[in-house]
Structure 1
């Protein structure tokens, strides 16, 4: 007897249970991987350039560049610039620009020699110089924070004013009456490096710790990003900005005392040569480690990138003008590379890349 029921047919590969389509998942995973890669490239751009610069000049000039003597000279010559770079990073993190720090450094260095020449005790010369630096920072804060003037213009005027003041104090001549105690301390050798190098690293370490692990570091970042929102959140914006200006000038004053001791003399007209390198290092720092944020580790990477590049070119026989050219070119190129990587990262997050999936069945 023929049954009226029909045995159900087994589903075919096309009509049966839906098979998983690896296409969208694979595309999503690939896009995610690209995003992670491009996301890490901006932070790594300047450190990679630093490593490439070091390796390149070590290969091109191993007998001159890749030596302990050259490293020691580079580190010692950049010690005061390191302090200036840390100093300028502090108000920059709070959204203010201080162009006067190099003039503060040279003024305080000259003050040590001038006061000692006039018979003042050594420690009094040092303390007065540090106090003078703090006073300059407070005056900058009065005009910028208190009155509300543009910080760039005010500190540029302060830079010029301090240059003129030191020229008056020294009669425009080289100041060579630096106390022997200051010179001995600045040139004290510790593990093969002068004490000024170690002090620079210690100050940088303290600033890094404050920036990364204390509320004050977060407050500075918040204020630099949006002062109005920071004020609405209850932060004492004015006091913190004033403190940033004073701290920057105090560090610059310390750099001046160490400069006087390490060099043994002070050129009253030398402030201009210290103006660009600290600012360049600080802005290079915003393109690495923490993008678009002024941070101490990034500033250090930028500083030593400039030091390695300029020293390497000079050892290869390039003339003295390379310093200004390299400072400007390195800043522009690093920022351009970081910006390109950011655009690639942003493109990886566009909605169109994640929506390319098959339309659901009706």
Structure 2
């Protein structure tokens, strides 16, 4: 009974309940249109990207870092793959593999620069963001690349029982990531570095390695996001990835991932991304001003960060008082 009550108080349960209530409310006010097969496929198709970019940001936050270049990395990778298939007539498989490798190397570069310079990822990724935006523009210019093979676009439209393949890719990626953090020793070391770098270092954990691996993993996840993007969109232009930054932070932070590191919340990030997607649907359904929606999401993110920091400080004060009592 106590275990059940404890689970009901978790952020994951709250987000799940919020999603169910929100979905039913939107479905009822839309006359049941949201329950149609087409609406469900559309909802899940455009949910895949927020899930993947949220996970990409989460793995970096878990080691106490930030990645401001998520959109630029994904956009540049998608532009590279589209350019390869159209201008260089590269096979689809080669373009996709190259995209994954390129995105992984982008993440590795971010991690290497953070480790080498000692600067926070905020500064490093701010610089690489600008560079990669230039790379993306070099590939697409002011045009939209949409003449890549029809098989690529067709893949994004495939669904089984109204569940799109691109959404399945996002879910499978989340499951693999959950398995990695639950069972892998390297993942545990990465979380240890994020929770307490000094204690981790004294325990023999390389904090520099953890930071490098987190940024590299983030790049790989963004490569998957780029593949989902190029298969689900009709074309790639310079705007792809431009609106990823807020969503990438919002999902993991709302899910309870601390800015100070040491925590991952994969299921929570997936559900937070789902709730944010519902907000987008509500904006379209009720013709809301996009700026109001962004303001609301930003306010929720800041409030969550403030609440997490307050809880952390409160727990630290309680721990210090406990230590003082024991010493007496």
Superposition TM-score, scaled by structure 2 size: 0.84
Residue in structure 2 matched with residue 23 of structure 1 by the alignment: none
From the superposition, tell whether residues 233 and 252 of structure 1 become closer, same or farther in structure 2 (CA, over 3 Å): same
Report the Cα distance in structure 2 between the residues aligned to 1:140 and 1:225, rounded to whole angstroms: 21
Counterpart for residue 69 of structure 2 = 100
Does 1:90 find its partner at 2:59? yes
Aligned to 2:263: 293
Q: Specify whether residues 66 and 343 from structure 1 end up closer, same or farther in structure 2 by C-alpha distance, changes over 3 A only.
A: farther
Whether 1:137 aligns to 2:107 is yes
Unaligned ranges ≥5, structure 2: 322-328
Match of 1:181 among 151, 157, 160: 151
- Per the alignment, residue 46 of structure 1 pairs with 15
- SS at the partner of 1:255? helix
Extract unaligned runs of 5+ from structure 1: 1-32, 352-362
Distance in 2 (CA, whole Å) between partners of 1:305 and 1:324 is: 14
Match of 1:158 in 2: 128
Partners of 2:64 and 2:262 within 8 A in 1 = no
User: Cα distance 1:338–1:62, how it changes in 2: closer, same or farther (>3 A)?
Assistant: farther
Taking a change above 3 Å as real, the CA distance of residues 223 and 313 of structure 1, as seen in their structure-2 partners, is same
1:73 to 39, 42, 48: 42
1:283–1:294 contact (8 Å) kept in structure 2 = no
- How do 1:272-291 residues align onto structure 2 when only pairs under 5 Å count? 272-286=242-256
Q: How does 1:93-132 map onto structure 2 within 5 Å?
A: 93-118=62-87, 119-132=89-102
Shifted more, 166-175 versus 297-306: the winner is: 166-175
Change (3 A) 1:223 1:348: closer
Aligned runs of 1:273-352 on 2, under 5 Å?
Answer: 273-286=243-256, 293-334=263-304
Q: After superposition, give the CA deviation of every residue in 1:177-219 in whole Å (9 maximum; x if it has no partner).
A: 3233322333322232221110000000111122233323322
> What does residue 140 of structure 2 align with?
170
RMSD: 3.2
Residue 212 of structure 2 corresponds to residue 254 of structure 1: no
Tell which deviates more after alignment, 103-112 or 37-46: 37-46
Aligned in 2, Cα 1:75/1:326: closer, same or farther, shift over 3 Å?
Answer: farther
Tell whether the 8 Å contact from 1:287 to 1:335 is kept in structure 2 after alignment. Answer: no
Conserved in 1, the CA contact under 8 Å of 2:103 and 2:220? yes
CA contact (8 A) 1:42 1:338 kept: no
Runs of 4+ in 1 over 4 A off after TM superposition: 36-40, 333-349
**TM-score, L = length of structure 1:** 0.77
Write out per-residue CA displacement over residues 81-121 of structure 1, whole angstroms, 9 at most, x where no aligned residue.
Answer: 21111111112112211121221111111111111222323
CA–CA distance in structure 2, aligned partners of residues 255 and 47 of structure 1: 23
CA distance in 1, matches of 2:196, 2:46: 37
Give, in whole Å, the separation in 2 of the partners of 1:334 and 1:45.
13
> Structure 1 residues 334 and 38 mapped into 2: Cα distance closer, same or farther (>3 Å)?
farther
1:346–1:60 distance in 2 versus 1, CA, 3 Å: farther
* Deviations 1:246-270, CA, capped at 9 Å, x for gaps: 1111111121122112113112123
Are residues 199 and 61 of structure 1, via their aligned partners in 2, closer, same or farther at CA, if it must alter by over 3 Å? same
> Displacement, 1:59?
3.5
In structure 2, the residue corresponding to 1:271 is in which secondary structure? Answer: coil
Matching residue of 1:227: 197
SS at match of 1:65: helix
